[in-house]
Amino acid sequence: MPFTRREFLATGVAASLLGGDDLSAASVDRPKLAQLALDRLKKAGVSYGDIRLNRYQYETIEARERRISSVSRDTSFGYGVRALHEGSWGFAASNDFTEKALAETVDRAVAVAKANAILQQRPVKLSPVKPVEAKWSSGYRQDPFLVPLDQKTALLLGLNDKALGVKGAGFVSSRLAFVREDKFYASTEGSVIEQDLVRSWGTFSVTAVDRAAGDAQSRDSLAMPSLRGWEAIEEHDFLGEAEQAALDAVAKLQAKPVEPGLYDLVLDPSHLFLTIHESCGHPTELDRALGFEANYAGTSFLTPDKLGKFRYGSELVNMVADRTTPHALATVAYDDDGAPAQRWHLVKDGVFVEYQTTREQEAWLEGVKARGCAHADSWSSVVFQRMPNVSLDPGDSKLSSEDLIADVEKGVRIRGRGSYSIDQQRYNFQFGGQVFEEIKDGKVVGLLRDVAYQARTPDFWNALDGIASRKEYELGGSFYDGKGQPGQLNAVSHGCSPARFRKISVINTGRSS
């Protein structure tokens, strides 16, 4: 049953949620347990071993119209042990912190490695890293888990009220989500690394309904998640955007349906980040390119024979992979293999030049380097290659978004992410959006509706002929990038400035035939 803000705060549920959780990382001597695990791994004769003692906190608050519909807070604390024995991996995990359970978990990881060695066809080889002892924090200013629940619910209900105050707005839902990763990693190589990361996200969706016409149009928030604290929520004008989103949703009911055809597109960072994610981020994952994801998430058209040769896009296309960008969701100091964060080109001057890789993957393909992309989404999850932040570098562009629009005769400007579809090789795709503005003779002349564009990845990126300057550069991203079997989630950002693409096929999604 949903509650109003006053009704919710009057219940004991609110008080219990504000009181925190019983499971504290401070109550566990992680350095001691790590050393016990490493000593036992070495005694077992492993060539490499590590332990991750990690604590995760999650909080989500949701509101629907003028009521709080859901509040949840969860904590997960445990450890995972990896053992590399005779070139094969073994893994085991537990949330029992007794020394007996720890020893059993280590022994189980070693036993799994020995069993896997029977079938291992190619021994695992890890590229070397320099052992380090380090502590790192993502640099948030205000811990969102310490912000009173009253303040959070007031924000959600306030922005909902603002949206519903626009005539024609019928429905609104809003959500706050926060994640903390308190990570402790130690390896037989001598590394001991502690990292504290906090991510925050506020979002909403407004729907306007024309009951007479049987039509409904929505507009979602353009706010993006980031590797920041509560300050990321406070600094975004959610009340102002909620009102504008409601106005946009109402206006879309009367907007002109797009006529299918070829259009120049001017894509806002709030939209283009997802196209980058799907058409560059995923196809440059080495495990995907070599077929390791074929049974679930697909393969890649960027096969190894194309490395260093294939023209992915125009000379303006410089796709940079980066785990060091401040406030970007996949930023860390060290990955889950103990490798330092790096920055490198995936596509340089339009040519595909590198993959996303881990220490293990350096041995998979001649010419690639280990790039620090190892990650597991939980202490109980297996470490494997995950996407870093992947961004379109604007270079030394002096252009503005107005300049891009001024040189368009027939086009569409698109803001916000919408529905999308992309094939298993990340080659053919279709993307929608939130707000579509018609461009005619260099000027924005009004809203359009039912817009989506279709292209093949290399055709699309070769059609890029203009990028706005760094002044308009923004980070988009997602909390929930899925990969692997069993599935894991990764948070990742993609930065870009507004960009222009020439003569892209646009379809009308509202037509039934």
Q: Say if CB 97 and CB 204 are below 8 A apart.
A: no
Write the Ramachandran bin of 27: left for phi over 0, alpha for psi from -120 to 50, otherwise beta: alpha
Chain mean position to CA 302? 21
Average model confidence (pLDDT) across the chain = 94
- Close Cβ partners of 151 (under 8 Å, ≥ 6 residues apart): none
pLDDT tens column, 363-389: 999 999 999 999 999 999 999 999 999
Q: SS3 for 159?
A: helix
Q: How many CB atoms lie within 10 A of CB 167?
A: 9
Q: Give the phi and the psi of residue 456 in degrees, each rounded to 5.
A: -95, 140
H-run or E-run covering 201: strand 192-210
pLDDT score for 312: 98
pLDDT score for 17: 46
pLDDT tens column, 98-143: 999 999 999 999 999 999 999 998 999 999 999 999 999 999 999 9
H-run or E-run covering 241: helix 238-254
Strands 384-385 and 389-392: unpaired
State the sign of the Cα–Cα–Cα–Cα dihedral 217, 223, 226, 230: negative
Length of the chain: 513
Task: Tell me how far apart the alpha carbons of residues 242 and 81 are, in angstroms, rounded to a whole number.
Answer: 46
Strands 499-508 and 169-187: unpaired
Beta strand spans in 86-156 (E) = 88-94, 133-137
Task: Tell me how far apart the alpha carbons of residues 280 and 289 are, in angstroms, rounded to a whole number.
Answer: 12
SS (H, E, C) 272-328: HHHHHHHHHHCCCEHHHHCCCCCCCCCCCCCCHHHCCCCECCCCCCCEEEECCCCCC
pLDDT score for 88: 98
Strands 169-187 and 192-210: antiparallel
pLDDT score for 506: 98
Task: Tell me how far apart the alpha carbons of residues 135 and 322 are, in angstroms, rounded to a whole number.
Answer: 20
pLDDT tens column, 166-204: 999 999 999 999 999 999 999 999 999 999 999 999 999
Task: Tell me how far apart the alpha carbons of residues 322 and 118 are, in angstroms, rounded to a whole number.
Answer: 37
The CATH number for 5-254, chosen from 3.40.50.12500, 3.30.2290.10, 3.40.50.720, 3.40.630.10, is: 3.30.2290.10
Beta bridge partners of 48: 84
Question: At residue 19, does pLDDT exceed 70?
Answer: no
Domain ranges of the chain: 5-254, 257-508
Rg of the chain in Å (alpha carbons): 24
pLDDT tens column, 417-448: 999 999 999 999 999 999 999 999 999 999 99
Task: Tell me how far apart the alpha carbons of residues 248 and 468 are, in angstroms, rounded to a whole number.
Answer: 25
Q: Say if CB 131 and CB 191 are below 8 A apart.
A: yes
Burial 336-350 (b: 16+ CB within 10 A, else e): bbbbbbbebbbbbeb
Q: Give the phi and the psi of residue 345 in degrees, each rounded to 5.
A: -85, 135
Q: Say if CB 334 and CB 356 are below 8 A apart.
A: no
Q: Give the phi and the psi of residue 109 in degrees, each rounded to 5.
A: -60, -40
pLDDT score for 296: 83
State the sign of the Cα–Cα–Cα–Cα dihedral 322, 324, 327, 333: positive
Task: Tell me how far apart the alpha carbons of residues 220 and 202 are, in angstroms, rounded to a whole number.
Answer: 11
pLDDT tens column, 230-281: 999 999 999 999 999 999 999 999 999 999 999 999 999 999 999 999 999 9
pLDDT score for 3: 52
Residue type at 470?
R
Token couple for 241: 């955007």
Cα(first)–Cα(last) distance of the chain, in Å? 42
Q: How many CB atoms lie within 10 A of CB 196?
A: 16
Q: Say if CB 346 and CB 355 are below 8 A apart.
A: yes
Token couple for 162: 């603002």
Token couple for 448: 């359009």
